[in-house]
Amino acid sequence: MSQMNSERSLAVLSEAVRAASLAPPQPAGWEPEPPEPVLPLSHYLWILRRHGWRIAAFVVAVMAATLVVSLRIEPVYESTATVDIDRQSPLGVVGQEATHSLFSQDSDQFLATQIRLIQSDSVLRPVAEKFKLNRRAGGRGGTAKASPVEPEEAPVVLNNLKVTRPPKTYLLRISYRSTDPRLAADVANAIARSYLEHTYNIRIRSSQSMTAFMESQLAELKAKMERSSRALSEFERELNVINPEEKTSILSARLLQLNSEFTSAQADRVRKEAAFESVRGGALEAAAGSDQAQDLRALIARRNQARERFAEIKAHYGANHPEYRKAAAQLAEVESLLGEARRKIAERVEIEYREALNREQMLRQALNQTKAEFDRLNARSFEYQTLKREADSDKALYEELVRKIREAGINASFQSSNIRIADPARPSLEPVSPNLPLNLAVAFLLATVLAISVAVVSDALDSSVRDPEQLRRMTNAEVIGTLPEVKGWRGRFSLVRAGEGALVAAGSEEAAHSVTLYEEAIRTLRNSVLLTDFDRTIRSILVTSAAPSEGKSTAAAHLAVAHALQNQKTLLIDADLRRPSVHRCFNIPAAAGLSDVLVGERPWRELVCQPEGLPNLSILPAGPPSRRASDLIGRGIAALLDEATRDYDWVIVDAPPLLGFAEPLQLATVVDGVLVVARAGQTDRKAVASVVSTLRRLRANVIGIVMNQVHHRLGGGYYYYSYRRYGKYYHSPKAA
């Protein structure tokens, strides 16, 4: 029977290994890895509670530093002068400027241009020299590189100056900040006045330059006007008889008549030329269609009659008959007459064609002469009109330029009031900097956001196991139990013994409460394992973990004791041949054990130990370390479990960590179920998911996951609900 079980387990293991080797290397096994669960809002509230004191201390420290720095900063005052720009006021007194305003185009672009103009060197330099301001006020410190430009020649930049435009207005606000409130008001007003003077000077210089340019062009334009007028007068004297602006009616009528006759002669010539070409080609039909072909048509009729009579005679008589010869002679005579008539007609057609051609040539020559004379007269008229237009244009341009010079002179002396100071700056009574309430509010907000962000980010970067629901979603395996942290067991193994029918762990009195909670958690875990599957009786379980030092051996030992205390025969096997620890928990010798059984030196029943006070618990230690025993654990443990499940109600196998060791893979295929222990706050979630995925790939029965060393620092809700409340109930003096 044991041999059959061993063969069955080996077959299952080989099939699982082969399937795992053929399957693609996916970390979540055959099924796709589930997505990371979305953390609920309560988790973030727990983060705030956990780091509340740190967050509060950081915020208080930042606000205190902000308060100290703000109190030590010298107060700064700000004064503002308001400039009004009238968009309806004209630019000048006369001319087009009197009808055009500043906002003839895009007003936003114009106001943006004025803001840049206020910040220009030409506006700020007089103010900076008057008040002896630092030209780089508010600039960055540090050693500046050597510059070839002298400080006096460098552009003036006042960083304490701010020019803004209130939305949906035509106002410009010139604000200046200084530690002296009177100086801030004076500088703001001086900048506004400098801006007004600068705009007026720009207009004056522009008008002067334009006037100078127009005056320089005036003399040249006057000379050009005189030349064009003199040329027009000379041309009029040259044509004192003929008025070139009027058409000669005789030439026009003659030209129209010759053009009509020439067109008619050309058509007659074409018609007669076509008849001539046809007759010359020998076509009789063309000769018959001419005007001189009446006789020809009569002869053609006689020829047709002679041919008909000759055909009749030819049909009745022979060639020597007198009638035949007579008819032939008549036909020949008619043919001769017809040929002579056609020749004469051809001569008459040629003569008519030559006459029509000569007439056409004569009319063409007369038409060309008349047209040349007409064009010559028209050319003189066009020359006259060109000279007159040029003279009129030069005169109009000269008069317009004279008018522009006069208007520019008048408008240059007009100082428009479209830009004016609407509200002068006054010394401020309250400083604008430092703004203590604003600084404290900003410091509080930024410090709070930064502290909370750091807390949330540090929690997000923590990939350890903390929340059972999160672990269940990620591994798709149930968390069937959580074991609380016992302070007396930190960094060492617990010594397990029985006393008064209950589980007891050695330790200080301070750990009594946590030991009681751990005892109840072990009992809950035991019932969860036994009630996991009603259709399948679990007689053997494997307890493993993803990495060392996660408390799997301690959990397996206490789980075995809890089951034995119910008067159930229980066998605990320490299969961690590399780092055995079960014998330390029960303080039993480990000179011989499972390794001796696997190499075949001794039977397992001889090596079973009975701890003191637990008659229903049997323990098979790991024995001395052996590489050979580790290689034989698959076949040997299957036979051992087959025999042990017949003698014991429950067999618990403490296995090495699954990641990195081969023994747990073989053990998982021969037990009825597997428990995976994960240390809360330390074990990586992906490592646990990899363990569960590997076990499922081997078709092992994963009963669930046990979270070990759960404490209130990991996540408030589950811990407090499960242990804090019921722990108080266990130690209440009124408890039954």
Determine, yes or no, domain membership for 7. Answer: yes
- What would the pLDDT profile of 357-410 be if each residue is shown by its tens digit? 888 888 888 888 877 777 766 666 667 777 778 888 878 887 787 877 777 666
Q: Write out the residue range of the structural domain in which residue 612 sits.
A: 2-34+476-730
pLDDT digits (tens, 9 = 90+) for 126-172: 999 898 886 544 433 333 344 455 556 688 888 889 999 998 888 99
Q: Which of 208-212, 241-245, 433-437 has the lowest mean pLDDT?
A: 241-245
Q: Is the peptide bond before 656 cis (omega within 30 degrees of 0)?
A: no
Question: pLDDT tens across 704-720, in order?
Answer: 888 887 876 665 444 44
E strands, 415-475, in order: 419-423
Lowest mean pLDDT, pick from 116-120, 315-319, 603-607: 315-319
How high is the pLDDT of residue 186?
93
Q: Taking a C-beta distance cutoff of 8 angstroms, is the pair 585, 493 a contact?
A: yes
| The total number of structural domains that make up the chain | 1
What amino acid occupies position 72?
A: R
What is the rounded average pLDDT of the residues 693-708? Answer: 87
Counting residues of the chain whose pLDDT is more than 70, the rounded percentage is 72
> How confident is the model at residue 147, as a pLDDT?
46
Q: What does the pLDDT read at residue 284?
A: 52
pLDDT tier, 624 (very low <50, low <70, confident <90, very high otherwise): confident
Contact residues for 145 (Cβ-Cβ < 8 A; gap 6+): none
Report whether pLDDT(491) > 60. Answer: no
> Binning pLDDT at 50, 70 and 90, where does residue 501 land?
very low
pLDDT of residue 562: 87
Q: Answer yes or no: is 511 within a domain.
A: yes
The CA-based diameter of the chain, rounded to the nearest angstrom, is 179
pLDDT tier for residue 600 given thresholds of 50, 70 and 90: confident
The type of residue at 454 is V
Say if 455 falls within a structural domain.
no
| Candidate from 79-93, 471-485, 580-594, 678-692 with smallest mean pLDDT | 79-93
Give the percent of the chain with pLDDT over 90.
11
- Give the model's pLDDT for residue 161: 92
Task: List strand residue ranges (DSSP E) for 439-593, in order.
Answer: 479-484, 496-499, 502-505, 540-545, 570-574
Contact by Cβ (8 Å): 668, 637: no
Q: What is the mean pLDDT of the segment spanning 323-328?
A: 78
- pLDDT greater than 50 at residue 492: no
| Contact indicator for 245, 385 with CB cutoff of 8 Å | yes
**What pLDDT, in 10s, does the model give residues 24-53?**
444 444 444 445 555 667 767 877 887 888
d(CA 547, CA 551): 10
Q: 536 lies in a domain?
A: yes
Whether 77 has a pLDDT exceeding 80, the answer reads yes
H or E segment and range at residue 710: strand 702-710
Please give the model's pTM, rounded to 2 decimal places.
0.48
Q: How far apart are CA 486 and CA 494, in angstroms?
A: 10
320: in domain: no
| Average pLDDT, integer, range 192-221 | 79
Taking only the tens place, the pLDDT of each residue in 418-456 is 788 889 999 988 888 888 889 899 999 999 999 898 888
Which CATH number characterizes residue 704's domain? 3.40.50.300
> Residue 145 has what pLDDT?
43
Amino acid at 278: S
Confidence of residue 20 (pLDDT cuts 50, 70, 90): very low
Residue 3 confidence (pLDDT): 44
CA atoms within 13 A on the CB side of 224: 14
Q: How many CB atoms lie within 10 A of CB 672?
A: 20
Instruction: Look over the chain and give the mean of its residue pLDDT values, rounded to a whole number.
Output: 75
Cβ proximity of 678 and 471 under 8 Å: yes
Range from 85-89, 364-368, 476-480, 540-544 carrying the lowest mean pLDDT:
85-89
Is position 51 within any domain? no
pLDDT for 90: 57
Assigned domain for 577 exists: yes
Q: Give the Å distances, CA to CA, from 481 to 423, 523, 606, 694.
A: 78, 10, 34, 21
CB 179 within 8 A of CB 79: no
Amino acid 530: pLDDT: 81
Query: What is the structure's pLDDT at 277?
Result: 74
Residue range 511-520, pLDDT digits in tens = 566 677 778 8
DSSP type of residue 491:
T
Please report whether residue 284 resides in a domain. Answer: no
Helix (H/G/I), strand (E/B), else coil: 673: strand
According to DSSP H, which parts of 132-289 are helical? Answer: 181-238, 249-280, 284-288
- Residue 418 is which amino acid? N
- 690 or 412, which is more confident: 690
Cα separation, 309 vs 312, in Å, equals: 5
Instruction: Determine the angle formed by the axes of helices 322-412 and 294-316, rounding to 10 degrees.
Output: 150
Residue (of 10, 23, 35, 2) closest to 696 by Cα position: 23
Q: For the ranges 276-280, 413-417, 489-493, which has the lowest average pLDDT? A: 489-493
